[in-house]
Amino acid sequence: QPLYREIIRRLGLIAALVPTCDEFFLSHALDDYAELHKQAYFFVTGTPVAPWDDMPDLHFHQATMADHAATAALNDEFIDKLEERIARGEIHIGLLDGAVVALGIRERGHLLPDCASIGMLVAQAHRQQGIGTRMLRYLRSVCEVQGLRPLAGCGYD
């Protein structure tokens, strides 16, 4: 525990995604947390990425500053520092018939630089249609092209 707390202090960590399959990390995180949000989206790396481009009217791309207003409208409080993250190339969007219906984030790991955390948000009216699944598949492929191992951490309502 003292070493765990020192790592948290030195890195200035304020949030972490903790997979339940990592019992060692999970036990330390549960000993010392202020707030807990359950997450739910998992996949196995090393398997081929399933198609994400099988819906003809759904398109994904890395967001640019021209997309900022549309992404901000959907974002609410899902992604912090949205403008900075767009500038760093971390934000991706899903467009259905030209309208932004999904946001994705690919954030390179600080502790594990060969990994990237990926997550997504789908507009309420477009949930349960497979858009979130396709966004994660798209983000997995982005990570693979960049030589990163993707780790999912998507919340659910």
Q: Are residues 119 and 145 in the same domain?
A: yes
Q: Are residues 70 and 95 in the same domain?
A: yes
In a domain, 157, yes or no: no
**What SS3 state is found at 55?**
coil
Structural domain total, the chain: 2
The CATH number for 120's domain is: 3.40.630.30
Poorest-pLDDT segment among 46-50, 72-76, 131-135: 46-50
Residues 120/104, Cβ–Cβ less than 8 Å: yes
| Domain that residue 130 falls in | 39-152
Please determine, for residue 44, whether its predicted confidence score (pLDDT) is greater than 60.
Answer: no
Q: pLDDT for 91-108, tens place per residue?
A: 999 999 999 999 999 999
Place of tokens 């707030």: 35
Distance between CA atoms of residues 82 and 104, nearest Å: 11
Instruction: Compute the CA torsion angle 129, 86, 88, 152 (nearest 10 deg).
Output: -20
Distance between CA atoms of residues 40 and 19, nearest Å: 10
Residues 123/74, Cβ–Cβ less than 8 Å: yes
Q: Are residues 12 and 67 in the same domain?
A: no
pLDDT at 20: 61
In a domain, 43, yes or no: yes
